[in-house]
C-alpha cells in the first residue's frame, strides 16, 4: 500500500468519524427522557443537558473558555463569557480546525473550545464520584478523537464515574511559534487550552457529581504526549489536577526551541500575505479564518526532502515546557502519580514510508528528525535490518515502521515507565502491549497499528468509527469487557485489578528489573517480559533523544 493510499485511508476514517458523530447525535436524541433536573449552573452559564435511557445524563458543547478569536487568536485561553439564558447542551459543537480540514464546515471551526460531560443521572453535587478525563490525539495537527461517547463507560462502571472530554487548538491555531508570538501572544496555546480544561474540571466537576480529588486523566497519542507534558509542566509543579494518569500510545515527536521554528513562522506569514507587515501578528489576527486555514500547509524542514509526518508540534518555551521530555523525566522534574501506560505491537505502520532500501529508511527518519546524521541512520539501520515482509508493502517498510514506532511511541513509553519507578517519589506503574489482531488490518500489512485498543476501551459504536463490520462485534468481542474494565478499575481505584472483569488475569505492576507487562489478546491475555531486544533498541533511542527532540 502506498503512503498516499494510507494517508487517504486515514483521512477517510476521520471523515467517516465526523459523519458518524452526526448520526450518533440523532440516535441519542431518540433516547432522551423528559428531565427537568438536567440543568447545571456553572456560575458563568447554565446548561441544559439530556438524560438518556441508559441512566446517564450528557452535557455536550459546554464552553470552558471564551471563543479564541479576534484579539484572542494565538493567545492563551480566557475564561468563558457570562450568559444570562440557559444554554443548550444536547448536541456536539464544532471541533477545532486542523491541518487539511475543510472550511467553512459545520463540523470544524475556530470557535471550538468546548467540553463534554457524562454523569450518572442519579448523581448529585455530593456524590463525589471518580472522574475520567480524556485528552484526544491527532498528532497536534487535528482533533482526531473528538466527541467520543462516554455513556457506555459510565454505565459499565455501575454508574459510578463521571466522564469528560474536550477540544483544544491544534496545527497553526495551537502551535504557531516565534519570538513574535511570545512578545504579543502565547506559545503552545493548544497545551494551555488543555490546562484550562483540567482546571475547569477542578472548579466545576462537583456540580456533575464528580470529585475533583479523584480525577484520572487519560490521553491517547498526542493527548498522551500532552499528558506527559502536563505532568512535567512548569518544572514539575503540582497543581493537583489529577491523582492518576493513563498514557495510551504516548507520542513524542520533535520539540524544537522557539529559535529553531522561526522558518515555520516565516513560511506561514508569507503564505497568508502578512510578510513585510510592520506588525505581522496583528496582520494574522486581521485575516479571516478561511485565509489562515488555507495557509496551514506543511513544507519540509530546512535542507530536507519531504515534509515530516507531523509538522506542528509543541515548542520548548522555557516556561510551560522548560526542557526536552527525555531530560525532564530523567531528572525527576515531574508530578509522579500512579500510571497505566502502553502501546500497540505495530505502532509505526500507519506512518512509515513504504521503503524499498535501507537508504530510504534513513532519509525518511532524517525528514522527520532533521538533526540525525548519516552515522546515526547507519546505526539505526543496523538495529533494524531487513525484516519479514508485510502484505502490500516494500521490503524495507517493516524496518521503517518498526524504527519509527519505537522512536516515537514504544520506547518513550518504556522510558516513562522506568522514570516513574526511579523518581524521588515512585508510584506504581502498569504497562501493556496491545496485540489484538483484526483481519482487515493484517491483510493490509498494518498488523496491530497505533491506538487499535480505542474501541475496546470505550465500546463499539462510541468512537465515531464505522463499526458495522467491526471485529469487536464478532471474533474479538471478548476482549472488550476485559480492556474496558481494566481502565474503569484504574479510574475508580488507581489499580486495574481491583474491579477487573471475571475473565481477566491479574495485571502485575511493572518493575525496574522484572519489566513485565500485560499482553492484551483476545482470549489469551497474559503477562510477558519486555524482550531483551526491545530493551536494547530503547537504549539506542534514549541515546539519540537529545538529537531527535530538537
Catalytic residue among 206, 221, 326, 423: 221
At 530-549, the pLDDT tens digits run 999 999 999 999 999 989 98
At 494-525, the pLDDT tens digits run 999 999 999 999 999 999 998 999 999 999 99
Confidence of residue 17 (pLDDT cuts 50, 70, 90): very low
- CA 500 remoteness from chain centre: 25
> What is the rounded average pLDDT of the residues 184-209?
99
Distances in whole angstroms, Cα of residue 206 to Cα of each of 29, 91, 132, 161, 215: 26, 22, 13, 12, 11
The pLDDT score that the predictor gives to residue 40 is 98
> What is the rounded average pLDDT of the residues 378-404?
98
Eight-class DSSP state of 410: I
Give dist(CA 15, CA 429) in Å, integer.
Answer: 36
Burial of 7: CB neighbours in 10 Å, binned 0-12, 13-18, 19+: middle
Return phi, psi of residue 146, to 5°. -75, 150
> What is the rounded average pLDDT of the residues 215-223?
99
Give dist(CA 210, CA 242) in Å, integer.
Answer: 13
> What is the rounded average pLDDT of the residues 72-96?
98
Name the least confident of 30-39, 112-121, 321-330.
30-39
End-to-end CA distance of the chain: 31
Give start and end residues of each alpha helix (H) in 373-500: 374-383, 397-405, 411-422, 439-443, 454-458, 479-493
The pLDDT score that the predictor gives to residue 11 is 36
Give dist(CA 494, CA 501) in Å, integer.
Answer: 16
- CA 501 remoteness from chain centre: 26
Residue 27 has pLDDT above 50, yes or no: no
Return phi, psi of residue 201, to 5°. -60, -45
Residue partners of 260: CB distance under 8 A and separation at least 6 = 550
Give dist(CA 310, CA 300) in Å, integer.
Answer: 11
* Percent of the chain residues topping a pLDDT of 90: 89
- What is the value of pTM for the model shown? 0.93
At 404-460, the pLDDT tens digits run 999 999 999 999 999 999 877 788 999 999 999 999 999 999 999 999 999 999 999
> What is the rounded average pLDDT of the residues 54-61?
98
Confidence of residue 36 (pLDDT cuts 50, 70, 90): low
- Alpha-carbon torsion, ordered 16, 18, 21, 26, to 10 deg: -90
The pLDDT score that the predictor gives to residue 35 is 56
At 332-343, the pLDDT tens digits run 999 999 999 999
Closest CA to 502 of 474, 478, 476: 478
Domains and CATH numbers, the chain: 3-264+295-548 (3.40.50.1820)
Give dist(CA 84, CA 82) in Å, integer.
Answer: 7
The pLDDT score that the predictor gives to residue 30 is 37
Residue whose cell numbers read 500510571: 339
How high does pLDDT run on average in the chain? 93
Give dist(CA 88, CA 272) in Å, integer.
Answer: 36
Residue 63 has pLDDT above 70, yes or no: yes
Give dist(CA 148, CA 460) in Å, integer.
Answer: 11
> Three-state secondary structure along 126-188?
CCCEEEEEEECCCCCCCCCCCCCCCHHHHHHCCCCCEEEEECCCCHHHHHCCCHHHHHHCCCC
Q: What is the DSSP string of 40-63?
A: EE-SS-EEE-EEETTSEEEEEEEE
Residue whose cell numbers read 497568508: 272
At 298-314, the pLDDT tens digits run 999 999 999 999 999 99
Give the three-class secondary structure for 19.
helix
Q: Is 221 part of the annotated catalytic residue set?
A: yes
Residue 269 has pLDDT above 50, yes or no: yes
Task: Give yes or no for a contact between 473 and 460, defined as CB atoms under 8 angstroms apart.
Answer: yes
> What is the rounded average pLDDT of the residues 148-174?
98
Amino acid at each position: 500500500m502506498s503512503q498516499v493510499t494510507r494517508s487517504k485511508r486515514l483521512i477517510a476514517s476521520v471523515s467517516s468519524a465526523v459523519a458518524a458523530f452526526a448520526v450518533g447525535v440523532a440516535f441519542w436524541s431518540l433516547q432522551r427522557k423528559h428531565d427537568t433536573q438536567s440543568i447545571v449552573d456553572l456560575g458563568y452559564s447554565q446548561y441544559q443537558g439530556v438524560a438518556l435511557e441508559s441512566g446517564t445524563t450528557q452535557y455536550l458543547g459546554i464552553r470552558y473558555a471564551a471563543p479564541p478569536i479576534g484579539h484572542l487568536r494565538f493567545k492563551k485561553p480566557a475564561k468563558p463569557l457570562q450568559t444570562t439564558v440557559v444554554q443548550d447542551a444536547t448536541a456536539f459543537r464544532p471541533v477545532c480546525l486542523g491541518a487539511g480540514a475543510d472550511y467553512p464546515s459545520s463540523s470544524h471551526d475556530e470557535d471550538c473550545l468546548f467540553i463534554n460531560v457524562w454523569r450518572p443521572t442519579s448523581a448529585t453535587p455530593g456524590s463525589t464520584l471518580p472522574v475520567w478525563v480524556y485528552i484526544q490525539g491527532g498528532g497536534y495537527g487535528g482533533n482526531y478523537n473528538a466527541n467520543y461517547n462516554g455513556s457506555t463507560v459510565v454505565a459499565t462502571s455501575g454508574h459510578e464515574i463521571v466522564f469528560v472530554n474536550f477540544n483544544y487548538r491544534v496545527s497553526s491555531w495551537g502551535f504557531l511559534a516565534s519570538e513574535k508570538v511570545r512578545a504579543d501572544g502565547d506559545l503552545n496555546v493548544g497545551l494551555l487550552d488543555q490546562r484550562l480544561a483540567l482546571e475547569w474540571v477542578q472548579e466545576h466537576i462537583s456540580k456533575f457529581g464528580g470529585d475533583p480529588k479523584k480525577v484520572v486523566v487519560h490521553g491517547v497519542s498526542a493527548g498522551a504526549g500532552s499528558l506527559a507534558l502536563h505532568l512535567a509542566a512548569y518544572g514539575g509543579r503540582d497543581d493537583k489536577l489529577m491523582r492518576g494518569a493513563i498514557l495510551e500510545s504516548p507520542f513524542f515527536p520533535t520539540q524544537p526551541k522557539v529559535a529553531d521554528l522561526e522558518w515555520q513562522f516565516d513560511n506561514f506569514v508569507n503564505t497568508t500575505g502578512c510578510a513585510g507587515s510592520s506588525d505581522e501578528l496583528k496582520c494574522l489576527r486581521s485575516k479571516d479564518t478561511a485565509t489562515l486555514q488555507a495557509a496551514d500547509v506543511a513544507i519540509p524542514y530546512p535542507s530536507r526532502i519531504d515534509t515530516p509526518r507531523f509538522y506542528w508540534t509543541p515548542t520548548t518555551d522555557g516556561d510551560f515546557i522548560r526542557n526536552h521530555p527525555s531530560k525532564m523525566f530523567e531528572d525527576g522534574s515531574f508530578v509522579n502519580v500512579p500510571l497505566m501506560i502502553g502501546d500497540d505491537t505495530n505502532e509505526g505502520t500507519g506512518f512509515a514510508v513504504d521503503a524499498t532500501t535501507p537508504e530510504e529508511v534513513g532519509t525518511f527518519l532524517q525528514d522527520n528528525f532533521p538533526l540525525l546524521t548519516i552515522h546515526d541512520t547507519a546505526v539505526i539501520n543496523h538495529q533494524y535490518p531487513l525484516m519479514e515482509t508485510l502484505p502490500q508493502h516494500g521490503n524495507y517498510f517493516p524496518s521503517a515502521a518498526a524504527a519509527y514506532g519505537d522512536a516515537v511511541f514504544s520506547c518513550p513509553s518504556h522510558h516513562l515507565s522506568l522514570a516513574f519507578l526511579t523518581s524521588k517519589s515512585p508510584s506504581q506503574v502498569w504497562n501493556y502491549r496491545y496485540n489484538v489482531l483484526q483481519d482487515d488490518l493484517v491483510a493490509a500489512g498494518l498488523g496491530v497499528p497505533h491506538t487499535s485498543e480505542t474501541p475496546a476501551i470505550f465500546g463499539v459504536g462510541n468512537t465515531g468509527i464505522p463499526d458495522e463490520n467491526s471485529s469487536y462485534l464478532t471474533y474479538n468481542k471478548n476482549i472488550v469487557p476485559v480492556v474496558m474494565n481494566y481502565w474503569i478499575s484504574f479510574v475508580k481505584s488507581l489499580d486495574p485489578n481491583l474491579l477487573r472483569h471475571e475473565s481477566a488475569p491479574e495485571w502485575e505492576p511493572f518493575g525496574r528489573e522484572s519489566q513485565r507487562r500485560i499482553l492484551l489478546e483476545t482470549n489469551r491475555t497474559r503477562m510477558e517480559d519486555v524482550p531483551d531486544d526491545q530493551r536494547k533498541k530503547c537504549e539506542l533511542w534514549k541515546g539519540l533523544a537529545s538529537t531527535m527532540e530538537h
